[in-house]
Structure 1
């Protein structure tokens, strides 16, 4: 059977699932995509915001990058403050290549751009279609429940679970998801302002203990994320608020599978790993999984996927855990030492390069199918 004629089912039409579908489609495959939701994530409820340089490189061949750059806000600076004092400033444009380290674009927008490009290949997700059962892993048999309640059973050459942290596919084939959750919760709220605000920097305010982060969403929308339940009373808004758009509370987990595949069933994105939003790596790491998996399938090398991706996953989880512990400190002595050390560290060129490489996504292996990729 020619590689392009292999039957492939993708569970999940988020950024990871849509990316693997698009990368397969542009290589001549015609994957089938199913998702239990009614459509892409609502624009006003997008958890993921950061699009890093690695993702822009990966999405270049499909031309999604051009569309992202037209809509995204370039982040030119990262700032850290404590009690009104600037601890550190990092120029996030100082990374190799044509992109800045990080851009801001709500996940809902990114999903819609991916859907638009995928439509060029006449691949449309089947919404409100749930996976009820996956049997076997060498030649997976999948039971689907359609929107009208009818049940379909079909056999596929490859099944890809990109169906989130509670992945039905992962559970069905018996792949464990070990890890732990932080004891404390995180909180976020999005605000729209009556006038445009400066969207070109991210700021982390250390309030000791705890933090409040300011992240641009659009030219007139900011997201504030914090470790403090009462953080909204502490926000210093940059102008008159037009409306409070959305708020949420969540627990942070650090988990990853021990293997990202079992037979011809593969896992990608949150189905394989979840971690802190520190460093804006979650959605980007899932997109990276998707692009590598599509490439390996097209080369007939999909059996190498887990071996090639797990080291990258472990690298990112280690980095995000370190960043999270740094901002979530509660011990007064540790906080004092951190606040003394941060300005010194951030003045060291080697430290800044390492930090920016992580934020840009350049601390994982470059894609061999893209010439000149970092």
Structure 2
């Protein structure tokens, strides 16, 4: 079907919206994409870092995967340490398929790579353009847009994709709730650049019983530390002299998802539909997965199946991330002692270790039927 046969608006030009636009474009559907921000997320302020094997598979037909692999850091090992004792060292390369379980690349870089490929189809986001209302018959929704100069435009679309984040204006406009809960404790993060290159090939969680500090590679000379401890920066054991503290932030973790991922011809994807802990690096990946499935279903004229196909994946990932978060945020001494004893024992069991890697790779959700040989 030619692009002119269906008018599609994508609200949100983050990784989810850009992936949706790209997957639609390569199938002949040139969507209009708008975003209230002035441009992609700053390179030094990217919350999402992990790109899993499922995402690399999904983005392989558009060749974005090739460019990601040129820039990303492969995380070959994941380590868990408690009071100086190594509890686990998981080889993340031991997964089936052509890709390792997880790579690290700042969200800002990923978005710019998607933008570059999207430009090949002469599609570009309309920045500083916000969705104000979505109204009328949602089988052909009418959307009001406010542009940077203050002017207002109203237009009808055959399909609207809400990829506009956790505070989605589209989701609110069509009356879809966003129930869930927030964790009591806050999380803190800081990125440090080092004077010399460091080893970017592993990620590590240090358990302080209670509390934790996670170490994640960003580039060959930048590491991210994420923690439940307000004073975590004083506890970091830096691997080399620090050149600069690049960025710091704090946030609360929420577990929320919509009851329905579509209403009429308005479809929710990414953080507009679900948010959860960063444990397992599933957030951006799950949004890209939503986007790719929706684009394929639209091209097949089967978009009505989207909500039914995606909700099981959303629930799987929220359950997994909640379990992982609970493991690293324990406070009760008895529970901590049991965890520290059980984790090394469980990870010696091949089936348990493979199940964990299966989830980290993103292979615990439905395989994309449009990609031959996909796991």
Q: Does 1:216 align with 2:217?
A: yes
CA distance in 2, matches of 1:368, 1:340: 41
Residue 138 of structure 1 and its aligned partner are, at CA, apart by 1.2
TM-score after normalising by structure 2: 0.99
For residue 300 of structure 2, what is the aligned residue in structure 1? 299
Distance 1:369 1:117 in 2: 20
- On the 8 A contact 2:165/2:270 being kept in 1, the answer is yes
Give the drift of 1:4. Answer: 5.4
Q: Deviations over 1:235-276 (max 9, x none)?
A: 000010000000000000000001100000000000000000
Aligned residue number for residue 240 of structure 1: 241
The aligned residue for residue 7 of structure 2 is 7
- Separation of aligned partners in 1, 2:5 and 2:46: 35
CA distance in 2, matches of 1:83, 1:29: 54
Write the distance in 2 (CA, Å) between the matches of 1:87 and 1:146.
Answer: 53
Quote the Cα distance in structure 1 between the aligned partners of 2:3 and 2:358.
Answer: 35
Indicate conservation of the 8 Å contact 1:162/1:271, yes or no. Answer: yes
Question: CA separation in 2, counterparts of 1:131 and 1:259?
Answer: 20
Q: Whole-Å Cα distance in 2 between the matches of residues 90 and 349 of structure 1?
A: 11
Query: Does structure 1 retain, via aligned residues, the 8 Å contact 2:2–2:29?
Result: no
| Contact 2:215-2:224 at 8 Å conserved across structures | yes
Count of aligned pairs: 374
Looking at structure 1, the residues matched to 101 and 63 of structure 2 have their Cα atoms a distance apart, in angstroms, of 19
In structure 2, distance between residues paired with 1:99 and 1:372: 13
TM-score relative to the length of structure 1: 0.99
* Unaligned residue ranges in structure 1 (runs of 5+): none
Task: Say yes or no: does 1:26 pair with 2:26.
Answer: yes
Q: 1:187 to 1:87 in 2, by over 3 A?
A: same
| Partner residue in 2 for 1:336 | 337
SS of match in other structure, 2:111: helix
Over the aligned positions, Cα root-mean-square deviation in angstroms equals 0.8
Q: What's the CA shift string for 1:327-369, capped at 9, x where partnerless? A: 0000011001100111101111011101000000000000000
C-alpha separation in 2, matches of 1:312 and 1:79: 26
Contact 1:164/1:271, CA 8 A, preserved across alignment: yes
Q: What residue is the counterpart of 2:60 in the other structure?
A: 60
- Take 1:3 and 1:311, find their aligned partners in 2: how far apart are those partners? 30
Alignment correspondent of 1:368: 369
Alpha-carbon offset, residue 3 of structure 1: 6.5
**Stretches of 4+ moved more than 4 A in 1?**
1-4
Structure 1 partner of 2:154: 153
For the residues of structure 2 that align with 1:256 and 1:26, how far apart are their CA atoms?
A: 29
Deviation at 1:307, TM superposition (A): 0.2
Take 2:356 and 2:98, find their aligned partners in 1: how far apart are those partners? Answer: 18
Q: Which residue is equivalent to 1:359?
A: 360
Q: Which residue of 1 aligns with 2:88?
A: 88
Residue 101 of structure 1 is matched in structure 2 by 101
Q: Is the 8 A contact 2:94 2:100 kept in 1?
A: yes
**Alignment partner of 2:44: what SS?**
helix
Sort the Cα spacing of 1:320 and 1:4 in 2 relative to 1 into closer, same or farther, 3 A: farther
What is the distance in 1 between the residues matched to 2:5 and 2:350? 50
Contact 1:16–1:162 (8 Å) recurs in 2: yes
Deviations 1:53-74 (A, max 9, x none): 0000000000000000000000
Once the two structures are superposed, what CA deviation does each residue of 1:171-217 show, in whole Å capped at 9, x if it has no partner?
00001111000000000000000000000000000000010000000
Q: Which residue of 2 aligns with 1:200?
A: 201
Aligned partner of 1:309 in structure 2 is: 310
Asked whether the 8 Å contact 1:4–1:298 carries over to 2, the reply is: no
Shift of 1:5: 2.1
> Over residues 109-147 of structure 1, what are the superposed CA-to-partner deviations in whole Å (9 max), with x where a residue is unaligned?
000000000000000000000111100311100000111
2:125 is matched with 125
